[in-house]
Amino acid sequence: MSSKKPNNAENWLLDSVIKYHHPLDILLAEDIEEQFNRKGHGLWEPELTALLYRMFSDGLLIASTSIPPLGGPDWTEVDFYPTFEQVRAGLHREIDIYYGLTAEGGKTWESLTNTQWNKCVGESFCFKTRTRQIISMDVSRVRRELLHWDIMDRISHRVKNAVWDVVIPWEATYWKTLPYGHRASFAKPSFTEEECESRPIRETYRQWKQRERELRRWWKERDRWYTHPWR
């Protein structure tokens, strides 16, 4: 494991996969800033290839790919540390490679970002029960999330009808597990024809602006559970 302090490009790569794995070739995309909604990593291809290879070799990142079934119906996902040539091939999509954080890479990212996991809010959808789920260590943040979903849809449903439980432990990300999480589950509301007719379809300009400001503030603050010192 390298003891060097990560540079800005290395920090960028770590931060790019804190929530999800990404295909390696996205790092050479012309619209990378749109894809990640931020400035790009700023590296030329040879620099990027060398840095990725070092981060894989140092155990900060790990690669994954799918291999075809051997006599069975399902493909198998395999994690591995790629060679330099595999990194280059993955960047050019000659082979399908996804990259993500290891536990060690996650610790490195945490050490740079003043992470406050109690403010982290997770969201998922359960296809089996057809319910959306919101979860956080801080129950007040879950309630606030429900409230803002109601504000966005101009209905009062989720706060009143959510089903609550506690998840122990809570897998907050694919690489980080927390002791617990307060979870609220709710189904998308369905309305009768009469209820649809009784819902307020129009709102005054002042009401609309107030709701828009509230929602903008919500979207801006909901991911403020860590800092971005290199952006």
Look up the pTM and report it: 0.78
CATH 1.10.10.10 occupies which residues in the chain? 8-112
Give tens-digit pLDDT for 38-60.
889 999 999 999 999 999 999 99
Are the CB atoms for 97 and 24 separated by under 8 Å? yes
Are the CB atoms for 170 and 177 separated by under 8 Å? yes
Give tens-digit pLDDT for 155-196.
555 667 788 999 999 999 999 999 999 999 887 655 544 544
Q: Give the fold, CATH level 3, of 8-112.
A: Arc Repressor Mutant, subunit A (1.10.10)
- In angstroms, the Cα distances linking 95 to 41, 63, 109, 196 are 22, 12, 27, 50
Among the listed residues 61, 107, 110, the one whose alpha carbon sits nearest the alpha carbon of residue 226: 110
d(C-alpha 186, C-alpha 4), whole Å: 46
Parallel, antiparallel or unpaired: strands 131-136 and 163-167: unpaired
22 forms bridges with which residues in the sheet? 99
Are the CB atoms for 95 and 149 separated by under 8 Å? no
d(C-alpha 96, C-alpha 141), whole Å: 38
d(C-alpha 141, C-alpha 99), whole Å: 30
The one-digit pLDDT tens for each residue of the chain (231 residues) are 444 555 789 999 999 999 899 999 999 999 999 998 888 999 999 999 999 999 999 999 999 998 766 655 666 788 999 999 999 999 999 999 999 999 999 999 999 888 999 999 998 887 887 788 999 999 998 988 887 776 665 555 566 778 899 999 999 999 999 999 999 988 765 554 454 445 554 555 566 567 677 767 766 677 778 887 655
